[in-house]
């Protein structure tokens, strides 16, 4: 689907469908919506007066045929919710809802006004970015492995174009800049979704390494891939202990972006890349294993964040993305409960649960980041614990770390990006759960007790004093059973938007 700009009035648009908007509670439409209402002889106002089908509630849509009164066949009115509650999440969701309504109409071309930029007072670039994000995220559907598209699985005539209509040609540059940024962000999220949706026999550590190398071909990002021999030289015994149970070779992916001028800070993004998690010898039940192809959601997020940065550039932050990638399988070489392994920093770990493997690969990646990069900040993302789903469900990721400033910055960025994070504690008392009689630490704490914090406190043990570090447990939101306009059921691509919004400093409705 292509997004573009046309200078002209929305009533002249020759698209199959026209999209206009309305805040909740408005009885007499104005602006572009008012012009369309007038062309339809007050059809929108008439529906509002009834107050039954449509009132402007956020994400609600009203579809009206034009009966030849406009060049378009349909008009779609999307609700923006209450004006006082308008924010980035609302405008993104409205754009997604509008596109979904158009998909149901099986139209190929859509013309739209810009949501929030009129009476809403939102800056043009911001409104255009949110429209692009919402449109592409809402239209997303994973179809890569379908041999044929059945009518009930995908629109018979998918939307080819969404065109923003604007009467003032002096605004075109700002609109185009916003659209371009929004398209880049959404495409990065959608590629992360594709990888998480896809199967583990396709999305292997080697595949992810190859995709990272493709990103580096842009020239703005460099890529280093460390294989088993190099990981052994670095002493990554914890990471390698997980990988040895699989025939798939492990890969540590390291992507780097450096600004042309002086960087204001250096940030390391670390993403868990377990491309399939059987649980190892601590085998998962069959039903719990079905979706374990998605255990590389953290790696998908950090790699695709770098994809977006490579395309957008114009960032005054040095960014490193590190993704330790392997499978967790139960062959004859696999970790056994009771095994003791040594991490890159020399700490010894007693493995009492081979299904707590994510922290075993992340701890070495965290040490690598600190020793090789020396970042000002580290943000790691991982589908780390089922306990986080128990605590927060699918609506929010857990956030914990060593820096309140960094945690709050990431959390606020997530709110604006449409991804929620809820603080969880890292009390010193939790260290008692990870004491080992035979090693420095065990890898899994007391079952049923603060599981997410236990995972976080384990990782904190590999973070140097004074290092600003935040851990995002994305186990819940990485895959959703709930369908909302901008996040269809399944893989969500969570984390990409948060990281980009944090790094680029995007603000709320500016």
**Which sequence positions are flagged as catalytic?**
284, 359
| Phi-psi label, residue 267: left if phi above 0, alpha if psi -120 to 50, beta otherwise | beta
Confirm if 273 and 328 have CB atoms less than 8 A apart: no
What is the DSSP secondary structure assignment for residue 402, as one 8-state letter?
S
Query: 70, 11 in Cβ contact below 8 A?
Result: yes
* DSSP string computed for 167-208: S-GGGHHHHHHHHHHHHHHHHHHHHHHHHHHS-TTTS-HHHH
DSSP class per residue in 30-44 = -HHHHHHHHHTTTHH
Instruction: Catalogue the E-assigned strands of 344-467.
Output: 348-350, 377-382, 397-401, 421-423, 441-442
Q: Is 276 left (phi over 0), alpha (psi -120 to 50) or beta?
A: beta
- State whether the Cα torsion 38-44-45-46 is positive or negative: positive
Q: Where are the alpha helices (DSSP H) in 245-357?
A: 286-289, 297-312
CB atoms within 10 A of CB 3: 21
DSSP secondary structure letter of residue 105: T
What does the alpha-carbon distance between residue 273 and residue 381 come to, in Å, rounded to a whole number? 10
As to burial, measured by CB atoms within 10 angstroms (0-12 exposed, 13-18 middle, 19+ buried), residue 392 is: buried
Q: What whole-number distance in Å separates Cα of residue 21 and Cα of residue 30?
A: 10
Whether the Cβ atoms of residue 165 and residue 6 lie closer than 8 Å to each other: yes
Residue 163, SS3 per DSSP:
strand
Residue 65: in which H helix or E strand, if any?
strand 61-65
Q: Who's near 151: CB < 8 A, 6+ residues apart?
A: none
> Measured between alpha carbons, how far is 440 from 349 in angstroms, rounded to an integer?
6
| Alpha-carbon span 413 to 191, nearest angstrom | 21
CA 384, CA 365: separation in Å to the nearest integer? Answer: 14
Q: Using CA atoms, how far apart are residues 452 and 455, in angstroms rounded to an integer?
A: 5
């Amino acid at each position: 689907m292509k997004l573009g700009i046309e200078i002209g009035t929305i009533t002249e648009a020759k698209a199959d469908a026209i999209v206009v908007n309305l805040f909740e509670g408005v009885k007499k439409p104005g602006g572009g919506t008012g012009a369309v209402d007038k062309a339809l002889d007050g059809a929108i106002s008439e529906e509002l007066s009834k107050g039954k089908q449509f009132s402007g509630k956020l994400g609600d849509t009203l579809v009206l045929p034009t009966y030849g009164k406009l060049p378009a066949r349909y008009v779609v009115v999307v609700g923006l919710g209450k004006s006082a509650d308008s924010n980035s999440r609302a405008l993104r969701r409205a754009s997604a809802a509008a596109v979904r309504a158009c998909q149901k109409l099986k139209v190929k071309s859509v013309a739209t006004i810009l949501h929030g930029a009129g009476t809403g007072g939102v800056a043009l670039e911001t409104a255009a970015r949110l429209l692009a994000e919402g449109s592409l995220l809402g239209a997303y559907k994973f179809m890569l492995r379908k041999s044929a598209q059945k009518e009930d699985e995908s629109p018979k005539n998918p939307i080819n174009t969404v065109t923003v209509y604007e009467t003032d040609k002096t605004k075109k540059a700002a609109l185009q800049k916003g659209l371009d940024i929004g398209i880049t962000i959404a495409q990065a999220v959608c590629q992360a979704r594709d990888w998480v949706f896809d199967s583990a026999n396709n999305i292997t550590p080697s595949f992810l390494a190859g995709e990272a190398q493709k990103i580096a071909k842009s020239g703005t990002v460099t890529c280093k891939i460390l294989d088993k021999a190099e990981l052994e030289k670095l002493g990554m015994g914890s990471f390698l202990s997980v990988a040895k149970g699989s025939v798939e070779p492990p890969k540590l992916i390291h992507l780097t972006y450096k600004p042309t001028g002086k960087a204001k800070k250096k940030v390391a993004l670390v993403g868990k890349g377990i491309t399939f998690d059987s649980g190892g010898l601590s085998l998962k039940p069959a039903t719990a294993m079905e979706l374990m192809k998605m255990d590389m959601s953290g790696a998908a997020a950090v790699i695709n964040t770098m994809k977006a940065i490579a395309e957008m550039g114009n960032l005054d932050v040095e960014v490193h993305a590190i993704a330790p990638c392997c499978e967790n399988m139960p062959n004859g070489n696999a970790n056994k409960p009771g095994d003791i392994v040594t991490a890159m920093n020399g700490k010894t770990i007693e493995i009492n649960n081979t299904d707590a493997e994510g922290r075993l690969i992340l701890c070495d990646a965290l040490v690598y980041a600190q020793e090789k990069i020396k970042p000002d900040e580290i943000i790691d993302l991982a589908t780390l614990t089922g306990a986080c789903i128990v605590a927060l469900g699918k609506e929010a990721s857990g956030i914990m770390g060593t820096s309140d400033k960094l945690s709050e910055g990431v959390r606020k960025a997530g709110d604006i990006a449409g991804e929620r994070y809820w603080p969880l504690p890292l009390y010193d008392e939790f260290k008692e759960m990870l004491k080992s009689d035979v090693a420095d630490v065990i890898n899994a704490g007391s079952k049923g007790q603060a599981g997410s914090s236990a995972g976080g406190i384990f990782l904190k043990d590999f973070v140097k004093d004074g290092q600003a570090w935040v851990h995002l447990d994305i186990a819940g939101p990485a895959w959703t059973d709930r369908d909302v306009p901008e996040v269809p059921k399944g893989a969500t691509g969570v984390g990409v938007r948060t990281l980009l919004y944090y790094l680029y400093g995007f603000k709320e409705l500016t």
